C-alpha cells in the first residue's frame, strides 16, 4: 500500500471538512444556553457530523461539554484528544483574509483553528480513515474525544473524566513532533485593585495568548511617552490603541505584550494607579524575574509570565495573568511570591485555573512506538522527545502524550494573526499518524 499516495488522494476531502470547522467562530461565550456558547456547540455538532460521515459512531454529552466519535470493537480503547474551541481572532484587520474562512494561499491553509486544533484533530481522524478504507482491521476501539473549553478552564475534560470511560493510552495532536514528554505547570490568576482611578485601560482576552492590542483614552502625554518608548500605536477618535504581537503564552518572551507596553507609557506620562504600577514594576518581564527571580530547570526551561487581559472600571482594576513554571519548581512558591508582592500594592489575588506539570518516562514501549512512527516516516532520527510550556490534553488522563502535528521545521502560528498550516507538512503529519495507528491499533 502506498500510504502517502492514499493520503494525497483523500486530502481534498480533509480540506473541505476542515473548512466546515474553521467557518464556525467557536470562541468562548459564557452565559448562553450552551455551556461555552452557541458557536462552540455548533462546532462540536459539526465535527460529530463529519465523524458520522466518515463511519464513526458518535456521542454528545447531554449538557454539551464534550462529544466523541468511536470506531472498532473490544474492551481496550485508544484515545485521541482534540478540541474544537479556538482563541479570538484579535484584530481582524491585521489578517490577510477572513479568520473564519479556510483559505489556501502559497502552500498553506489559513484560518483560525487550522493549526490549533481543528486541523490536527481532523488530520488524525483522516489518517485512521485512510487505513480503514484500505481494509485494515482494528485490534481495539479508537475514540476521538472532542473538547470544547481547552482554551479556557478545561471544564469539558473535567466533565468527560468524571463521567466517561478513559482510554488505556492515547495522544493529543495539539503540539509538536516528535513528541512531548514533559509539560510545565500552568497556573492562572485574576488580580483586583479597588483604587479610585479614572485611568482607562482595556485589552487582551484569552489569558493564554500574549495580547496584541490595548486601548486607553487619547492623551498627548501618553502618545509622547509611547513615541519615546518606541512602541507602535494608532489613534481613532478618542481611542489610543497600542499594537503588540500575539503569541501563545507558553512563549511569552517571544511576543510583544500590548498591555504591558501601554501600562509603561501611562506610568511614564503620570497617568497611573496601583495596578498600573504593579504591571510595570512586577509583571513587565515575561520570564517573571521581577517577582520570582531567575526560575529555570534543565528539563523544561524558563518560567513564563503573561498579562493576558486587563479591564479598568471606575473603582475596580482587574488583570488576568498566565504563568507556566518549570516541572521542578513548586507551585506553592508561585502562589506565595505572587501574593506577597501583590499585597504590597493592595491587590487581591484569586486563583483562576491550575494544571499540574507532567513528566513521562521517555523509554516506555508506548513512547518508543510513537517515536518509531515519526522517525520511519520523516527520516528524522536527530530530533528527540521535547518539553513544552503549553498545556495540552495530555494532562487530562494518564498515559496520554502530545504527539504532533507541527514538524520541527514548521511555522508556529497558533494564537497568531494569519494562523495557518503547511499543506505539505500536514500531509506528512497525517502519514505519521497513520503509521502510529499501524504500530499500535491495527491487527
pLDDT, tens digit, for every residue of 109-156? 999 999 999 999 999 999 999 999 999 999 999 999 999 999 988 999
pLDDT of residue 201: 97
Decide if 320 contacts 188 (C-beta within 8 A).
Answer: yes
Measured in degrees and rounded to the nearest 5, phi and psi for residue 300 equal -125, 0
**Which H or E element spans position 182?**
strand 180-183
Mean pLDDT of 86-102: 96
Mean pLDDT of 62-75: 97
pLDDT digits (tens, 9 = 90+) for 281-339: 999 999 999 999 999 998 899 999 999 999 998 889 999 999 999 999 999 999 999 99
Quick one: CA dihedral 71, 77, 80, 82, positive or negative? positive
Strands (E), 77-164: 77-83, 103-105, 108-110, 141-147
Quick one: CA dihedral 37, 43, 44, 49, positive or negative? positive
**Residues 65, 36, 160: CA angle, nearest 5 degrees:** 15
Reduce the DSSP state of residue 134 to 3 states and report it: coil
- Inform me whether the pLDDT recorded for 402 exceeds 80: yes
The x, y and z cell numbers of residue 291, run together, are 517577582
- Inform me whether the pLDDT recorded for 392 exceeds 80: yes
pLDDT of residue 20: 98
Residue found by looking up cell 513564563 in the block? 304
Radius of gyration over alpha carbons of the chain, in Å?
22
Average pLDDT for the chain: 96
Any idea which residues carry the catalytic annotation?
Answer: 85, 150
Decide if 19 contacts 32 (C-beta within 8 A).
Answer: no
- Percentage of the chain beyond pLDDT 70 is 100
Alpha helical stretches, state H, 293-364: 331-344
The x, y and z cell numbers of residue 384, run together, are 528527540
Nearest to 284 by CA among 235, 349, 341: 341
pLDDT of residue 209: 92
pLDDT digits (tens, 9 = 90+) for 31-54: 889 999 999 999 999 999 999 999
pLDDT of residue 31: 85
- Inform me whether the pLDDT recorded for 439 exceeds 80: yes
Mean pLDDT of 162-186: 95
Mean pLDDT of 57-72: 98
Nearest to 207 by CA among 324, 290, 356: 324
Is residue 73 very low, low, confident or very high in pLDDT (cuts 50, 70, 90)? very high
Q: Return d(Cα 119, Cα 113) in angstroms, integer.
A: 7
pLDDT of residue 385: 92
pLDDT digits (tens, 9 = 90+) for 273-296: 999 999 999 999 999 999 999 999
Q: Return d(Cα 63, Cα 36) in angstroms, integer.
A: 11
Q: Return d(Cα 129, Cα 142) in angstroms, integer.
A: 11
Could you report how far apart the first and last alpha carbons of the chain are, in Å? 16
- Inform me whether the pLDDT recorded for 12 exceeds 90: yes
Nearest to 405 by CA among 149, 180, 100: 180
Q: At what angle do helices 118-133 and 423-440 cross, to 10 degrees?
A: 50
Q: Return d(Cα 287, Cα 266) in angstroms, integer.
A: 22
Say whether the peptide bond before residue 405 is cis (omega within 30 degrees of 0).
yes
pLDDT digits (tens, 9 = 90+) for 240-252: 999 999 999 999 9
Nearest to 216 by CA among 239, 243, 193: 239
Nearest to 104 by CA among 424, 405, 430, 428: 424
pLDDT of residue 389: 84
Is residue 360 very low, low, confident or very high in pLDDT (cuts 50, 70, 90)? confident
Residue found by looking up cell 461565550 in the block? 29
pLDDT of residue 165: 98
pLDDT of residue 356: 87
Nearest to 47 by CA among 84, 90, 89: 84
pLDDT of residue 150: 95
pLDDT of residue 314: 80
Say whether the peptide bond before residue 178 is cis (omega within 30 degrees of 0).
yes
pLDDT of residue 28: 96
Instruction: Give, as one character, the DSSP assignment of residue 390.
Output: S
Reduce the DSSP state of residue 169 to 3 states and report it: strand
pLDDT digits (tens, 9 = 90+) for 205-227: 889 999 999 999 999 999 999 99
Nearest to 440 by CA among 400, 393, 387, 381: 400
Q: How far is CA 186 from CA 236, 295, 327, 395, in A?
A: 37, 14, 10, 11
**Cβ neighbour number for residue 271 with a 10 Å cutoff:** 21
**Cβ neighbour number for residue 196 with a 10 Å cutoff:** 7
pLDDT of residue 315: 87
Q: How far is CA 140 from CA 70, 168, 227, 336, 358, in A?
A: 10, 10, 62, 47, 27
Reduce the DSSP state of residue 405 to 3 states and report it: strand
Decide if 440 contacts 156 (C-beta within 8 A).
Answer: no
Amino acid at each position: 500500500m502506498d500510504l502517502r499516495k492514499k493520503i494525497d488522494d483523500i486530502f481534498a476531502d480533509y480540506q473541505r471538512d476542515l473548512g466546515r470547522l474553521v467557518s464556525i467562530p467557536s470562541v468562548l461565550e459564557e452565559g448562553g444556553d450552551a455551556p461555552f456558547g452557541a458557536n462552540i456547540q455548533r462546532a462540536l455538532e459539526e465535527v460529530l457530523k463529519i465523524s458520522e460521515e466518515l463511519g464513526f459512531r458518535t456521542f454528545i454529552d447531554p449538557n454539551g461539554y464534550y462529544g466523541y466519535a468511536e470506531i472498532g470493537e473490544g474492551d481496550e480503547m485508544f484515545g485521541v484528544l482534540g478540541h474544537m474551541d479556538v482563541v479570538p481572532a484579535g484584530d481582524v484587520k491585521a489578517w490577510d483574509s477572513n479568520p473564519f474562512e479556510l483559505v489556501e494561499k502559497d502552500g498553506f491553509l489559513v484560518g483560525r483553528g487550522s493549526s490549533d486544533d481543528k486541523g490536527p484533530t481532523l488530520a488524525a481522524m483522516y489518517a485512521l480513515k485512510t487505513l480503514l478504507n484500505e481494509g485494515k482491521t482494528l485490534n481495539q476501539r479508537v475514540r476521538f474525544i472532542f473538547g470544547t473549553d481547552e482554551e479556557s478552564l478545561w471544564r469539558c475534560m473535567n466533565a468527560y473524566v468524571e463521567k466517561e470511560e478513559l482510554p488505556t493510552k492515547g495522544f493529543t495532536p495539539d503540539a509538536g513532533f516528535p513528541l512531548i514528554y514533559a509539560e510545565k505547570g500552568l497556573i492562572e490568576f485574576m488580580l483586583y485593585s479597588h483604587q479610585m482611578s479614572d485611568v482607562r485601560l482595556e485589552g487582551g482576552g484569552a489569558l493564554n495568548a500574549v495580547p496584541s492590542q490595548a486601548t486607553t483614552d487619547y492623551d498627548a502625554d501618553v502618545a509622547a511617552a509611547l513615541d519615546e518608548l518606541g512602541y507602535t500605536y494608532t489613534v481613532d477618535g478618542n481611542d489610543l490603541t497600542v499594537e503588540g504581537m500575539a503569541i501563545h503564552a507558553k512563549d511569552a518572551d517571544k511576543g510583544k505584550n500590548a498591555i504591558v507596553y501601554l501600562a509603561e507609557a501611562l506610568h511614564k506620562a503620570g497617568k497611573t494607579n496601583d495596578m498600573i504600577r504593579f504591571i510595570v514594576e512586577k509583571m513587565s518581564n515575561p520570564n517573571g524575574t521581577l517577582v520570582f527571580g531567575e526560575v529555570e530547570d534543565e528539563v523544561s526551561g524558563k518560567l513564563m509570565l503573561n498579562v493576558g487581559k486587563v479591564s479598568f472600571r471606575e473603582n475596580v482594576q482587574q488583570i488576568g495573568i498566565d504563568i507556566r513554571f518549570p516541572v521542578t519548581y513548586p507551585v506553592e512558591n508561585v502562589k506565595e511570591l505572587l501574593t506577597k508582592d501583590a499585597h504590597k500594592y493592595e491587590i487581591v489575588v484569586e486563583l483562576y485555573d491550575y494544571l499540574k506539570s507532567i513528566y513521562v518516562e521517555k523509554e516506555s514501549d508506548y513512547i518508543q512506538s510513537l517515536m518509531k512512527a515519526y522517525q520511519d516516516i520523516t527520516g528524522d532520527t536527530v530530533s528527540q522527545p521535547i518539553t513544552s510550556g503549553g498545556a495540552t490534553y495530555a494532562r487530562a488522563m494518564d498515559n496520554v502524550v502530545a504527539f504532533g502535528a507541527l514538524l520541527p521545521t514548521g511555522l508556529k502560528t497558533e494564537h497568531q494573526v494569519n494562523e495557518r498550516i503547511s499543506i505539505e507538512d500536514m500531509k506528512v503529519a497525517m502519514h505519521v499518524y497513520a503509521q502510529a495507528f499501524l504500530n499500535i491499533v491495527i491487527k
